[in-house]
Amino acid sequence: MSRAFILLLDSFGLGATPDAVQYGDVGANTFGHIAAWAAEQGTPMQLPNLERLGLAAAAQLASGEWAAGFHQRDGFEGAYGAARERSTGKDTQSGHWEIAGVPVTFDWGYFPRTVPSFPAELTDELQRQTGVAGWLGNCHASGTEIINLYGDEHVATGKVIIYTSADSVMQIAAHEEHFGLERLYAICEAAYQLVKPYNIGRVIARPFTGSNGNYKRTSNRHDYAVPPPSKTLLDHVKDEGGEVIALGKISDIFATMGVSRVVKGPDNMALFDALLKVEQEAGDKSLTFVNFVDFDMMFGHRRDIAGYSNALHEIDARLPEFMARLKPGDLVVITADHGCDPSWPGSDHTREHIPMIFFGPGIAPRALPIADTFSDIGATLAKHLGVSPLSHGTAQL
């Protein structure tokens, strides 16, 4: 029996890639800077399970430095390495698609850092089609900050909050109760059609609840995403008789292409609970793909080093539960889709290596070479599951 699992720690970079200069990210290092911060606080990070699998050793291969507080130099239990992105962006879709064997070789469209960010012809037509009272924000912004800034006015007027980021994205936020979830989704569906000429990758519905300047986003987020331009690992597995189980936002990122079953969860720990359940249920030739989004959404973009560190400790503490349930023939990879260094200026993603840590019953521990494409991950899993080779990538095992 062969099964595969992708545990993606969203934004968990291991140090700037050689081309980071093109992105203004020379010196970025999500893991390294969190570890340095923790050591400076007098409380070095303790990630014993990830360390045994080879996390710190993989980071050393990527950055040339050992993360502060990590001392294991041999006796690792995983096949560990790092990968560089071939895609031209450092965004969510590019990272996930490339892992699954489809690098993004074209340039996404982006909205400028002007105020307003969105062209009037776009917002005017969206207002005409949906009948909303108007728009608030219309700028580059942190999603958690902008809903608190404009939430009261939104509730009072019915105007909808719109914003973007360094990603190829239009984000639309509205109150679930005062405005209505289905109404928000309908606006996002209309926006998805209207942004196509701008080559935008996603429109994201960002529902929230709360009152009086204290608002919180809910788990009813929905991404309206452009589908991958060609078949990914997910399609190969599903088309050849396997099951693809997508946890978290994976189904949205791949526009449901190649997905057999969708499992949602409001945060990292709820998704880990769901992962343990799926692990018991998944059958032969299955691919389980989970995105732990809190690292990026809650801590990376918010530049919350302490929160990011705590989230890593939470995942590490629960890994033994997952590992104890693995079956002969299982292959697991721990990876990421880009960096989002919480110590870095601004709030954008950072161009970094990602971890490529394989483990499972029968997987021989070893150091792997640095991969020149994230697609080596997908190629490795395709080989393991016995499906057709991907268009890009070389199997590492």
Q: Domain range spanning residue 47? A: 3-106+229-385
End residue of a domain, out of 175, 204, 224 = 224
Percent of the chain at pLDDT > 70 equals 100
Q: Are residues 240 and 376 in the same domain?
A: yes
Domain boundary among the residues 162, 189, 224 is at: 224
Residues 127, 196, single domain; the answer is yes
* pLDDT score at 142: 87
CA distance 83 to 378: 12
Residue 138: give its domain's CATH number.
Answer: 3.30.70.1250
Q: What is the DSSP string of 82-146?
A: EE---SS--SHHHHHHHHTT----SPPP---SSSS-S-HHHHHHHHHHH--S-EEEEEE--HHHH
Give the per-residue pLDDT at 166: 83
Tell me the β-bridge partners of 358.
Answer: 79, 333
CB atoms within 10 A of CB 197: 10
208 beta partners: 175, 217
Please indicate whether residue 144 or residue 350 has the higher confidence score (pLDDT): 350
Q: Give burial (CB, 10 Å; 0-12/13-18/19+) of 42.
A: exposed
Per-residue pLDDT, 37: 98
Query: Does 238 lie in the same domain as 135?
Result: no
Question: Does residue 230 carry a pLDDT above 90?
Answer: yes
One-letter amino acid of 332: V
pTM: 0.94
88 falls within a domain: yes
Name the token pair of 141: 């912004």
Question: Which of 224, 243, 263 is the C-terminal boundary of a domain?
Answer: 224
395 domain residue, yes or no: no
- Does 198 lie in the same domain as 157? yes
C-beta of residue 281 within 8 angstroms of C-beta of residue 254: no
Residue 98 scores a pLDDT above 90: yes
Paired tokens of 358: 């394989």
Same domain for 356 and 343? yes
* Same-domain check for residues 36 and 73: yes
**Structure confidence at residue 1 (pLDDT):** 80
Is residue 266 domain-shared with residue 204, that is, in the same domain? no
Express each pLDDT in 184-207 by its tens digit. Answer: 999 999 999 999 999 999 999 999
Residue 123 has pLDDT above 90, yes or no: yes
The domain that holds 91 is classified in CATH as 3.40.720.10
- Whether residue 154 lies inside any domain: the answer is yes
Within a domain: residue 393? no
Q: Are residues 137 and 250 in the same domain?
A: no
Q: Please indicate, yes or no, whether residues 234 and 349 belong to a single structural domain of this protein.
A: yes
Question: Where would I find the beta strands (DSSP E) of the chain?
Answer: 3-9, 79-83, 135-140, 160-164, 169-175, 202-211, 214-217, 222-225, 244-247, 261-263, 286-292, 330-335, 354-359, 366-367
**What is the per-residue pLDDT for 77?**
98
Residue 33 lies in a domain: yes
Domain count, the chain: 2
